[in-house]
Amino acid sequence: MNVIIFGPPGAGKGTQAKFFVKNYNNFQVSTGDMLRDEIQKNSEIGKKIINNMNDGKFVDDEIVNKLIKNVIFDSTKKNKLVFDGYPRSLTQAKNLEVLLNESNQKIDFIFFLNVNKETIVKRIEKRKILEKRSDDDLDTILKRYDTYMETTKPVLDFYSKNKNFYEIDGDLKINEITTKIEAFINV
């Protein structure tokens, strides 16, 4: 089963992705983690993206698409992908469709965690203390939210027409969201 968890920063995508890792043997595909890893390694990609990441701006589609391609064509992960933070633009969504087609895969479920801005600010401030991420200060958080709204809205329109698209109130508690996801899967 391949799944997309979709929603603004701080919506709880990573947390719900881990539910799939634990219960369905999925591999978490977090482009945010992959990009932070490149910065950590001080790789060529890392050097190119550090400013955008710290400013709360998106990394170029071309770079993210290249990282994603390796994962999709990894046969050990075939049909076990849970996407968290990808796709975030229409170009990425279309790229994902092409890559999945080429590798004989499809998306089985798209879960949209819809959360309001106030909840996100509260959650990310909490996460900042727990995870010490350099892009988690309030200004950057708000910038990331606005970037998300601008760039990701077309992706929402693109997916919301699919019959495997499910919108969930992301203001609910973690376990309540998980229960809803399970219910949709088990229909």
Chain residues in the site for ligand AMP (CB under 6 A): 9, 31-32, 35, 52-53, 56-59, 64, 85-86, 88, 92, 135, 144
* Helix 61-72 vs helix 44-54: crossing angle, to nearest 10: 120
> Cβ contacts of residue 91 below 8 Å, gap of 6+?
61, 65
User: Min. distance of Cβ 74 from ligand AMP in angstroms?
Assistant: 18
73/179 with CB nearer ligand AMP: 73
Tokens 């983690």 appear where? 33
Of 113, 127, 122, 143, which Cα lies nearest the Cα of 13? 113
User: Min. distance of Cβ 186 from ligand AMP in angstroms?
Assistant: 27
Of 55, 79, 30, which Cα lies nearest the Cα of 141? 55
- The SS3 assignment for 88 reads coil
31/178 with CB nearer ligand AMP: 31
| First-to-last C-alpha distance (Å) of the chain | 15
Residue whose C-beta lies closest to ligand AMP = 32
Q: How far apart are CA 113 and CA 172, in angstroms?
A: 10
User: Min. distance of Cβ 172 from ligand AMP in angstroms?
Assistant: 20
Of 150, 31, 34, 145, which Cα lies nearest the Cα of 96? 31
102/146 with CB nearer ligand AMP: 146
73/183 with CB nearer ligand AMP: 73
User: Min. distance of Cβ 49 from ligand AMP in angstroms?
Assistant: 7
User: Min. distance of Cβ 10 from ligand AMP in angstroms?
Assistant: 8
The strand pair at 27-30 and 3-6 is best described as unpaired
149/183 with CB nearer ligand AMP: 149
